[in-house]
Structure 1
Amino acid sequence: MDIFYISPALEVANTMPTPRVLKTHLPIQLMPPSFWEKDVKMVYIARNPKDCMVSYYYFYKMDQTLPDPETWDNFFSTFLKGSLAWGDWFDHVTGWWKARDEHKILYIFYEDMIEDSRRELCKVMRFLGKDFSEDVVKKILHHTSFKAMKANPMINFSVFSESIFDQSVSSFMRKGTVGDWKNHFLVSQNIIFDNEYKKKMEGSGLEFRTEV
């Protein structure tokens, strides 16, 4: 359950039977201590920063509760500064990455999911201690495909009014691809970004693919 858009979220979560499935965009330093005390299992999904920036730009344009991102050039600079909702991308991904050996965290990559969704699903199944039949696996793969999710009103946010999500500007489920950043980054921006990435990610051991 995505508790971010449900109010009051804490009360709703407390009424859910265990085991509960909750989704959050919080950086690791803002997670409640109880998550670690209860030894909760976490599945963290990270996406390469260039595609993430593009996706986030359109989300900012669509989400009427967020500040106007203005131009792409402006958003590019704002992203690199980390001055966005849910914090700095670099801090976010490295924070969860560093904690993966201390806690029950399965760290998976969006690009790997696009490349081989069955393989990544099997990773999640093993992590959660599940052994589903082939029929169930096929159903999960179908319902979690981009095409099916884009058509599902429980996922595509079409249930929200335009005053919250104006999907005439950009659909919530937009492309679901890898490499769309090439349609947005200028050559100069790509150089600036690569230099910033190298500086901030050096020594982390964390690597992202921008192609599949």
Structure 2
Amino acid sequence: MEITDLSSMKLPSRPELFDFEGVSMIHYFTDNWEKVKNFQARPDDILIATYPKAGTTWVSYILDLLYFGKDAPELLTSQPIYMRVPFLESCFQVIPSGTELADNLPTSPRLIKTHLPVQLVPKSFWEQNSRIVYVARNAKDNAVSYFHFDRMNMGEPEPGDWNTFLQKFMEGKNVFGPWFNHVSGWWEKKQTCSKLLYLFYEDLVEDTGREVERLCSFLGLSTSVEEREKITKGVQFDAMKQNKMTNYSTLPVMDFKISPFMRKGKVGDWKNHFTVAQNEQFNEVYKQKMKNTTVKFRTEI
């Protein structure tokens, strides 16, 4: 299926947030719910799971290159990443739904991405014992990235100004629910699920090569050092930001005049956004919400 530049097409006005199975959602991710819930995973599927803006596209691209960079390099330059790694729960009308794209993927393994909290993931992924790569990013940088994303993405609710957005983020009133529940829910799952690898965005930034190696060993891939180095170079932030196949510039919902889809990719950029008062308030909320989990984050490296 060829998808060319859709950027001239327009979506209707921004969606409203509503409660769905206890999680804040928008209709683009619930319209196709029957098919999402009953999606048939396969044992060799690889599910890439993250809270929004935590390195999803980055890890998707790394896995895409690891599996298909050698055998199908032409796909990497002709098909955008959102066609090669379908977004399972998405139903945006301008392209086929995530379940349809996943069902029609010609590749094996299928790489599929989701932002669903762990309790909403289709049962078949657990039943089939599919491998899952979860990526978590520290809350402060994640909030900043999500704010800029919502500003430029007309498929998301109106974010308001930074302070308004931050208050909503602390209350968990974002699409896909609270960051706190998301990262800790998946962390709990990891304790009992050997097919789940839990990665940290900060580790990826600090040493991409090392994390690529961890991925290879988790997936049982024997890639040569040269190959891994080549991939590590290809997935550096600036390279992906320039790459039309990974930077989402071909999608109509994104207004790049407001902000690029790939903005900075840094750790610690939150310091340019949080006021002292906001930071203090956030730390208090964080302590409260994360007191029952053992997952630990770095807000700088």
Same fold (TM over 0.5): yes
CA distance in 2, matches of 1:8, 1:193: 36
2:230 is aligned with 1:139: yes
Alpha-carbon distance in structure 2 between the residues aligned to 1:70 and 1:124: 38
Q: TM-score, normalised on structure 1?
A: 0.96
Name the SS of the counterpart of 1:107 in structure 2.
Answer: strand
Quote the offset at 1:2 in angstroms.
3.2
Counterpart AA for 2:269: D
Residue in 2 that maps onto 1:122: 213
> Does residue 1:148 correspond to 2:239, yes or no?
yes
CA distance, structure 2, for counterparts of residue 26 and residue 52 of structure 1: 16
Please give the residue correspondences for 1:58-73 in structure 2 after superposition, counting only pairs within 5 Å.
58-73=148-163
* Deviation for aligned residue 1:10: 1.3
Matching residue within 200, 211, 219 for 1:109: 200
1:191 counterpart (280, 286, 293) = 280
Residue by residue, what CA displacement relative to the aligned partner does 1:121-177 show, whole Å, maximum 9, x if unpaired?
Answer: 11111000011012210221122110111011111111123xx10010000010010
Task: Give the aligned length.
Answer: 210
State the partner residue of 1:28. 118
Q: Which residue of 2 aligns with 1:81?
A: 171
CA distance in 2, matches of 1:54, 1:80: 12
Aligned counterpart, 2:109: 19
Any conservation in 1 of the 2:86–2:102 contact (CA below 8 Å)? no
In 2, Cα distance between the equivalents of 1:124 and 1:187?
Answer: 37
Point out the more displaced range, 130-139 or 55-64.
130-139
Identity %: 45
Displacement of 1:8 after TM fit? 2.5
Tell me which residue corresponds to 1:205. 294
* Runs of 4 or more above 3 Å deviation: none
Structure 2 unaligned spans of 5+: 1-84
Q: Secondary structure at the match of 1:87?
A: coil
Q: Hey, what's the Cα distance between the residues in 2 that align with 1:173 and 1:185?
A: 20
**Which deviations, in whole Å up to 9, do the C-alpha atoms of 1:63-109 show, x marking residues without a partner?**
01112111111001000010111111001000100000222110010
TM-aligned CA deviation for residue 9 of structure 1 = 2.0
User: Aligned equivalents of 1:42 and 1:181: distance in 2?
Assistant: 28
Which residue number corresponds to residue 166 of structure 1?
Answer: 255
Equivalent-residue separation in structure 2 for 1:95 and 1:170 (angstroms): 30
Unaligned runs of 5+ in 1: none
Q: Per the alignment, in what secondary structure is the counterpart of residue 22 of structure 1?
A: strand
Q: Which amino acid aligns with 1:47?
A: R
3-state SS of the aligned residue for 2:198? strand
Counterpart of 2:170 in 1: which secondary structure?
A: helix
> C-alpha distance in 2, partners of 1:40/1:136?
25
